[in-house]
């Protein structure tokens, strides 16, 4: 998958183009998920199409990755993220790949990036076409391909971040 920062109609954006079949599926999933959530949770879609290859242009989010800021500030950012995740879960979606490098932080806000592997709550894990696997932050049921997609997958990742913040 190729991604790069571009100027899209006077706005800073990130374009992602799939070059292989699995990348096509990941980009299509990200487009579907981002179209169901609002820009308070993640980047806004600026443009999306599927012909001849899936192409997604999304808003470039200004800020710093969580892993780039002082760990003393992590708990405050995680608390903001937790309340946003509750709204996401009420929409029947989990992010599934929450880790410090997928959280953009500003002074007053946090947003998630990397939505390709987001899932719908209630899906059977073994039937998913793809699953995230970030050691230390991905719930074991996702790694091993068992059970049903639930909010606890994101909660597991958040608790992992809280543990990291305390180190």
The pTM (predicted TM-score) of the whole model is 0.93
Residue-wise pLDDT for 106-138, tens only, equals 999 999 999 999 999 999 999 998 898 888 899
Count the Cβ atoms, other than its own, within 10 Å of residue 146.
11
Task: Indicate the pLDDT class of residue 46, thresholds 50, 70 and 90.
Answer: very high
pLDDT score of 1? 78
The three-state DSSP-derived secondary structure of 88-151 is HHHCCEECCCCCHHHEEECCCCEEECCCCCCEECCCEHHHCCCCCCCCCCCCHHHHHCCCECCC
pLDDT score of 145? 95
pLDDT score of 2? 81
- Homologous superfamily (CATH) of 2-59 is Phosphorylase Kinase; domain 1 (3.30.200.20)
DSSP state of 1: -
3-state class percentages of the chain: helix first, strand second, coil last, to nearest 5? 40, 25, 40
Residue-range domain boundaries for the chain: 2-59, 64-166
Provide the CATH topology of domain 64-166.
Transferase(Phosphotransferase); domain 1 (1.10.510)
């Amino acid at each position: 998958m190729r991604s790069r920062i571009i100027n899209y109609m006077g706005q800073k954006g990130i374009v992602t183009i799939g070059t292989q079949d699995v990348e096509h599926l990941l980009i299509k999933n990200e487009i579907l998920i981002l179209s169901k959530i609002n820009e308070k949770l993640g980047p806004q879609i600026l443009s999306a199409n599927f012909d001849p290859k899936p192409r997604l242009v999304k808003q470039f989010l200004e800020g710093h990755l969580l892993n780039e800021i002082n760990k003393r500030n992590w708990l405050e950012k995680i608390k903001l993220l937790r309340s946003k995740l509750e709204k996401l879960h009420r929409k029947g979606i989990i992010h599934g790949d929450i880790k410090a490098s997928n959280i953009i932080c500003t002074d007053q806000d946090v947003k998630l990036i990397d939505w390709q592997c987001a899932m719908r709550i209630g899906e059977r894990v073994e039937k998913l076409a793809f699953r995230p696997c970030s050691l230390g932050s991905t719930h074991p049921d996702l790694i091993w391909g068992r059970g049903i997609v639930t909010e606890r997958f994101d909660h597991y990742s958040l608790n992992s971040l809280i543990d990291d913040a305390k180190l």
